Amino acid sequence: MYARLLINLLLLASVPFALAQPQLLSGEIAARNSQVFVAPQADNWMVQIAWMVEEGARVAVGEPVVQYETASITATLEQLEATLRRVKAESRRNNLIQDLALLEAEHRHRIAQLNLRKTRLDADIPRELLSELQHEQYQLALTQASNAYQEAEKALATQREDVVAEKQRSELEITSAENELERIQVMLSTMTQYSQRAGTAMYVDHPWTGQKIREGDSIQRGFSVLEIPSTDDLHIKAWLNEVDVAHLQEGEAVKISFDAKPKLQLVGQVARIGNQAEPKNFWGESGYIEVLIDFEHTSAHGLLPGMSVMVEVLGETQ
């Protein structure tokens, strides 16, 4: 009995590697370089996608790929255009009023100046040539004319300052309206986004729900909505459960299988293992570490970013 038990234990000890399962990682093809489109800045913290190019469609340089809802921005733009026209009209009217007031102030100042000269001539008549009453009247008239002239001079200076201040105020108001109009015009121009490279359009997963962002969705400003990856330099982005990280080393060889191309298998190499584990939605409570894998491919393979892959670790490369 003991001999049979010993034989069974020896047999179990001799086959652990035969029973061990290969280490597998799930992941997807990713592009090293991509043009990423993000929801633009707007007055509201959410923007709605009015139209988006179909996922998987080939786009050329300069083609529109995303169009956001612009009804509210267009309405604001029309209001600002009307506001700018009103501000300019009011500025012209106020400037005319100020210029007219300045002309009147200059006219009163000129009259006061002439009256002062006249009364001064009368007041300079020798006293012995005039009666006492007439001499006193001329002196009083001179004093009154002098005071009137000083008041007219102060009024003219004040009116000139008012003209300058009113023109500056009008210019600031016009500049403010023009700047706000330009801001909305720039905002409106960003509501249509264009491809800067040729490639295949790929939808982006919503960071909160994990679902692909599509036409009609309302997206927070700054969120990625679409990607045009470069297919010239692809790699694999896989995820490893943090409890298994000790069993994987950079430089190990891997075999890559593609869900969309079951007959295609390629060999790659672990290029980098991340340092920080992070949770993955719907994958349970564990944390997962990003693993980047390099592999060689040609355009004949027809691989595209976003394709799911299964990675089998083979061991260290020689």
- On whether residue 87 sits in a domain, the answer given is yes
- On whether residue 42 sits in a domain, the answer given is yes
- Is residue 199 predicted with pLDDT exceeding 60? yes
- On whether residue 272 sits in a domain, the answer given is yes
**Which CATH number fits the domain that encloses residue 285?**
2.40.30.170
134/236 same-domain check: no
- Is residue 3 predicted with pLDDT exceeding 80? no
Closest CA to 21 of 217, 312, 276, 266: 312
pLDDT value for 74:
95
183/244 same-domain check: no
133/239 same-domain check: no
- On whether residue 2 sits in a domain, the answer given is no
**Which CATH number fits the domain that encloses residue 222?**
2.40.50
- On whether residue 171 sits in a domain, the answer given is yes
Instruction: Categorize the per-residue pLDDT at 228 as very low, low, confident or very high, splitting at 50, 70 and 90.
Output: very high
Instruction: Categorize the per-residue pLDDT at 226 as very low, low, confident or very high, splitting at 50, 70 and 90.
Output: very high
pLDDT value for 286:
84
120/172 same-domain check: yes
Section 140-152 average pLDDT: 96
248/207 same-domain check: no
**Number of domains the chain contains:** 3
Domain that holds residue 125: 73-189
- Taking the C-alpha atoms of residue 268 and residue 272, their distance in angstroms, rounded to an integer, is 12
Closest CA to 65 of 263, 250, 202, 212: 202
182/235 same-domain check: no
257/116 same-domain check: no
pTM: 0.67
- Taking the C-alpha atoms of residue 139 and residue 187, their distance in angstroms, rounded to an integer, is 72
pLDDT value for 21:
63
pLDDT digits (tens, 9 = 90+) for 50-96: 999 999 898 999 999 999 999 999 999 999 999 999 999 999 999 99
pLDDT value for 28:
92
- Taking the C-alpha atoms of residue 144 and residue 134, their distance in angstroms, rounded to an integer, is 15
- Taking the C-alpha atoms of residue 191 and residue 217, their distance in angstroms, rounded to an integer, is 14
pLDDT digits (tens, 9 = 90+) for 148-162: 999 999 999 999 999
Q: Count how many Cα atoms sit within 13 Å of the Cα of residue 152 in the half-sphere of its side chain.
A: 20
For 148-161, the DSSP string reads HHHHHHHHHHHHHH
- The enclosing H or E element of 6 equals helix 2-13
- Is residue 296 predicted with pLDDT exceeding 90? no
Mean pLDDT for the chain? 89
pLDDT value for 4:
45
199/247 same-domain check: no
Q: 51 - beta bridge partners?
A: 67
- Taking the C-alpha atoms of residue 65 and residue 112, their distance in angstroms, rounded to an integer, is 73
